Structure 1
Amino acid sequence: MISGKRILYVTHRFPYPPAGGAKVRAYHAIRHLAQRNQVTVAAPVRDAEERAAVTDLATAEGVEVLAAPISAPRALVQSAACAAIAQPASMGYFRPPGLVRRLRRWMTDALPDLIVVH
């Protein structure tokens, strides 16, 4: 077991497989942090490829993964609701209720030493 810090890494795009800008940056940061720390990755998944990659990321990098699917129709409604109250539309789109619930449950077990939001 890795002893370092307990780190929660929250990202708006599922970082695996690392293909394209935001995914590549997040993946390499997670990979680096996981070398000496206990890392939990929290991210929405948008399609079948990302859903299938949840186990791959956990296995490849030795991290815990909290993931939940984005429902496109619901995400669009949430985006519009956020825009209507002067919040960024992306906050509504990339915040699936299932991920919020999983994060709340995870946080009740033990607080992380560090939270990274990407």
Structure 2
Amino acid sequence: MDLLRNILLILHFVGLASLLGGFLVQIKPIIAGKGTIVTAMFHGALTQLVTGLLLVGVIEMGSLGYIDNTKIGIKLLVLIVITVLVIVNRKKPTVSSLVLWAIGALTFANVVIAVLWK
């Protein structure tokens, strides 16, 4: 179980890197008003969602640690908002800079919640 948890955690980080990296490469186009939802953001959001749910399940099943359900619920809610924003806007040739900044800020907020909430 511990090996599975570690693999899922690594994949969760890969999803984070894809989502946040996809946003960061859009900074210059966002400022110019021509930002788009790149494929990396879509795949990163879905990877985060799936691996996050699996991580909680594996940890609960194997008693590999304590899960703060309030923290996980808030992180899930934020990720659902990110995923909806990405899915709704991914086919558009250009996206409002407000949407892209929201995706970046919410992604960063999820990282802050994960690290600082004890």
TM-score, normalised to structure 2, is 0.28
Q: Which of the two has greater strand per residue? A: 1
